[in-house]
Chains A and B, each alone.
Chain A
Amino acid sequence: MSSPILKLVAQRIALGIVLLLAVSVLIFAGTQVLPGDVAQSILGQSATPEALANLRAELGLNDPAYIRYFHWLGGVLTGDLGTALSSGQDIATSIGGRLWNTLFLAFCAAVISVPLAILLGLLAVRYRNGWVDKLISGLALASTSFPEFFIGYLLVYFFAVKWQIFPGISTVYDGMPFLARLQAIALPAAALTLVVLAQMMRMTRAAILNVMQSAYVETAELKGLSAFSIIRKHALPNAVAPIINVVMLNLAYLIVGVVVVEVIFVYPGMGQYLVDHVAKRDVPVVQAVGLIFAAVYITLNIVADIASIVANPRLRHPK
């Protein structure tokens, strides 16, 4: 590990922290865009002036916006996310289990989709312009055009209703046996996999093809190496960085896709929690959950950057 890599990595992490702070400002500002105030929109037009004044005091709306921001940020940094307006419950405790559920679902989808996508991408390069390749570009067209709920409800319709293999509603609870939990999330995980798979395959294929057209691969071909050993020895090491990038971008996409998929399967995760509280106009919950989603998304993007810096053979062996 040489110093230019360390310097680049440190730069990326510092940039990420600055970005996170800026995003927290933006999310806070995003809930202040209303010309009236939040108290009015929560209580509706028919609210009495006393109720409005009480709620304003409770929300601290009488302070200027930047003081409320720093108050909120200080709370978030010390793990205090505030209390939900609609139920009066502590947000951090309600989020705990849900965050774990969401990460578990996204993790399962990633474990299936990443190796599958890379394998299929490699196959597509090996049998370029053949039927595998055509199938992949067809699937990619479909998956960029299908809404998540179309894929989700098709799965429910066939696997849960017609053939009754998996449950159509993913109920999970604490202390549930691991296998039962896996069976419960089979359909949502499959839906998420299908959403990201084609895109990931196509980008992997493009990354490897890009490397395959370079001069050193041509040399290896002229030397008489077989197609698979060219891919394994020459193409893959140079394609690792772009592939890691592809994987991370799609994992970041998974984090967003999870919102709709959780609602389809009534899965008790962060997405469901966010959507419920947007409908109830419960601003503190929306801010907290929005910030967590954004933080995970940004972290994945930074990890992608760092991984591709570390995996780059040119940076690892500087002249």
Chain B
Amino acid sequence: MLDIKRIPLPALVGIILTVLFLIAAIFAPWIAPHGNGEIVGDVWQPMSAQFWLGTDNLGRDLLSRMIYGARITIFIAVLATALSFTLGASLGFCAAVLGGWFDTLMSRFVDLLMAIPTLIFALVVLSVLPSTLVTLILVMGILDSTRVYRLSRAIAVDIEVMDFVEAAKLRGEGMRWIIFREILPNALSPLISELGLRFIYAILFLSALSFLGLGVQPPDADWGGMVKENKDGIVFGIGAALIPAAAIAMLAISVNLVADWVLNRTTSLKGGRG
């Protein structure tokens, strides 16, 4: 079973950092030294004992903004990933089990959606939709579910022809049983390692949208939005915008390290290489 001493160092670092980010996100109001929108000092003060990371473009405490930003960033990314997995996996499994016109129709539609770069299509759709959190999560989740659909359909097609599924069908089990009791448990480990990658993608995608000013709207800000707020300082040599950008990179790397480790573990459990 899982032994902490046997977790390789990179994975351990990844787990610890990810957990720290999660703690910051969940307990933001209790950890942050100042309020989210509270103006506490001058514009772009350097790092000091009072303001650990300095202040931002309006004189708000950057550390507190970062902690609240973690909350918004991770909250939206988690919901979007959850939506993309539920939608993509259930449609993918259904397509594999049902086959026929449903499979053809869904697969061609997903091909079509994936023929347009995700960011471009998101921008097209966001140009007419109201800028709210719900729209943002729906757009991110639905566009990303195409990738989950392809993966889960491919996995389920493989499993569907196996003997135990055949046996269940002959027993007269319904589609619900076949999907949830036969296919899902066997498809879980590749899907879980994909989960990490989709989560990173959601974080990066959200940050890009907010950086372009089309994601989370002020006065709230996720990390991408904070980069946008503070980017004008860069030409004066003020690095405030680099801090949220570095946080995004750090979170993405930590989740990547964990996902890599999970992937290696599941392939070795199955008797794969390593």
Residues in A lying within 8 Å of B, measured CB to CB: 19, 22-23, 26-27, 30-34, 38, 41, 141-142, 144-150, 153-154, 156-157, 160-162, 168-169, 252, 255-256, 259-260, 263-264, 274-275, 277-279, 281-283, 286-287, 290, 293-294, 297-298, 301
A26:B242 contact, CB within 8 angstroms: no
Selected contact of A19 from candidates B115, B117, B214, CB within 8 Å: B115
Are A290 and B124 CB-contacts (below 8 A) given A41-B130, A141-B256, A263-B211?
Answer: yes
Selected contact of B123 from candidates A146, A156, A169, A274, CB within 8 Å: A274
A26:B113 contact, CB within 8 angstroms: yes
A22:B124 contact, CB within 8 angstroms: no
Selected contact of B242 from candidates A142, A157, A259, CB within 8 Å: A157
B249:A145 contact, CB within 8 angstroms: yes
Contacts A153-B231, A290-B121 known; list 11 others, CB within 8 Å: A19-B115, A22-B112, A33-B128, A147-B249, A153-B227, A154-B242, A275-B213, A277-B127, A278-B127, A290-B123, A297-B120
Least CB distance from A289 to B in Å reads 8
Residues of A within 8 A of B115 (CB): 19, 22-23, 294, 297-298, 301
Selected contact of B112 from candidates A26, A146, A162, A277, CB within 8 Å: A26
Contact with A along B105-117 (1 / 0, CB 8 A): 0000000110111
B128:A147 contact, CB within 8 angstroms: no
A sample of 11 cross-chain residue pairs with beta-carbon separation below 8 angstroms, ordered by A number, consists of A33-B125, A150-B242, A150-B246, A157-B239, A161-B234, A260-B208, A275-B213, A277-B127, A282-B127, A290-B116, A294-B120
Least CB distance from B124 to A in Å reads 4
B214:A278 contact, CB within 8 angstroms: yes
Give residues 227-274 of B contacting A (CB, 8 Å).
227, 231, 234-237, 239, 241-242, 245-246, 248-249, 252-253, 256-257
A148:B120 contact, CB within 8 angstroms: no
B127:A256 contact, CB within 8 angstroms: no
CA distance A142 to B242 in the complex (A): 16
Interface SS of chain A: helix, strand, loop or mixed? helix
A279:B213 contact, CB within 8 angstroms: yes
Q: Is B39 an interface residue (CB 8 A)?
A: no
CA distance A277 to B241 in the complex (A): 24
Residues of B within 8 A of A26 (CB): 112-113, 116, 121
The 5 closest A-B pairs by CB, nearest first: A145-B252, A150-B245, A286-B127, A290-B124, A256-B117
CA distance A298 to B224 in the complex (A): 29
Residue of B nearest to A296 (CB): B117
CA distance A297 to B119 in the complex (A): 12
Least CB distance from A85 to B in Å reads 11
